[in-house]
Structure 1
């Protein structure tokens, strides 16, 4: 595995130790409903992930086999989306994570992470190559089906509801409500309801608030600007808990400034 680009947002004083990670676990994983791991090696892999050591977390997770695939695929996906500077390498990593998750589904079909960590990297890959192009290739339908499978297995999976809401919003934004509904099953009311459910399941989460704000603008247009700004003001008042949240905030700020 080639050397990955290191994240530089976390200062030494903000790094989590195992005790702190365990205390924050329910807040950090309210979105993906991942249970606290009992295996020390898996705990260490997750600690590496939350401290932004994404390559280490991926390698440690893969070394644990199926038990470590969710942390490996999450670490790969977050790294590829936020830190990998080379487009082709980013695409390769996202597709690798999605492929591993798809194979994992056959071995553990009831594991919601196996479905979500296929959908998330595929969704990020779609965003990087053009949503419209990806829809014509059938990738959007695969993402939608995987997210629905994750929710079926874990109705409390806030991140799956959030990602599915974003699917509805992006499809409608790119192809319009009529084509979106008839061809891809995208629905404005359903998307808005899913955003609200995701926020109810994971309130005051940086990801939920930011994605909801962006989704409102795609689904409601300029009329939603006051509410979107209110949501983003709430984001600005939240202190990130780990490296992924810091990366997310930094990315959101770049998007807003752009």
Structure 2
């Protein structure tokens, strides 16, 4: 499959959607084929009040408010275009809560289903589930790229409807960044996708300065550019330096110091852009990530990634 991406055409196409979940994951039949979370069926279940009780720890990286009626009401008031698409805040809150519960447990297909049921206020959790599934569990490269491409489409609609929602911008930037990892980066930069990723992540930080995951995302962006085009071209053409990537990763660590996701991405960045002198530091970060106690399915996947790197 030869994937191309025309941002203007995509925006025109996706504006007409009634679904706010990526096409590649919108089919129940397609999601029936998704791989199951491989490290236990019930280990990260947050039933009943447990989700609310653990919410602050689970969302230390993205500062997403707990999705109760009051929080969704504030979200709609801050983004009036959402209002017409959320006729029942109570029902939407239940669906978003269940979507997050499924996401943290590793039921990524169910998280997409429940996110879709909630309407656009469920796009963030649905997109997060699709991205984690595509990144960690989908083995077919074509399907992976299709899921990520269509997640970009869905998130581009969301930021139009919710321009004041930090995590709408974050998932938009994250989806673009992950998609760019699976197409030639020079081509994606030429089409403006790399710049869109950086702009979205920067916007998330403007809206939520304590957004650790957005800092990590910008670190990943800088690293990918340096890796693909070289340090000199990255600095002169795209304004990207290794030092900037490190600054973002260090900011992410300061805000959320026990995140295995940040630790493994930081280690990978050092291996890609830091040269041989950074290998010892990367190994130490992988070891730190491997020693983390994961709080949910995504964290467990990243801990296992770290352990695999150490064993290699």
TM-score (norm 1): 0.92
Deviations 1:46-65 (A, max 9, x none): 10111111111111111111
Check whether the contact 1:82–1:251 (CA below 8 A) recurs between aligned residues: no
CA distance in 2, matches of 1:183, 1:177: 10
Q: Any gaps of 5 or more consecutive residues in structure 1? A: none
Aligned-pair distance for 1:255? 4.7
What corresponds to 2:67 in structure 1? 37
What corresponds to 1:26 in structure 2? 56
RMSD over aligned CA atoms reads: 1.8
Query: How has the CA–CA distance of structure 1 residues 158 and 14 changed in structure 2, closer, same or farther, with 3 Å as cutoff?
Result: closer
What corresponds to 1:116 in structure 2? 170
Deviations 1:153-200 (A, max 9, x none): 111111111010111122112212221012222122222111110110
Q: Any gaps of 5 or more consecutive residues in structure 2? A: 1-26, 69-92
Query: What SS does the aligned partner of 1:238 have?
Result: coil
Larger Rg: 2
The answer to whether structure 1 residue 198 and structure 2 residue 257 are counterparts is no
Q: Which of 107, 123, 131 is the equivalent residue of 1:53? A: 107
Check whether the contact 1:10–1:243 (CA below 8 A) recurs between aligned residues: no
Deviations 1:24-71 (A, max 9, x none): 211211111111111233211110111111111111111111221111
TM-score (norm 2): 0.77
Aligned-pair distance for 1:135? 2.7
Query: How has the CA–CA distance of structure 1 residues 250 and 164 changed in structure 2, closer, same or farther, with 3 Å as cutoff?
Result: same
CA distance in 1, matches of 2:287, 2:304: 15
What corresponds to 2:37 in structure 1? 7
Aligned-pair distance for 1:14? 4.5
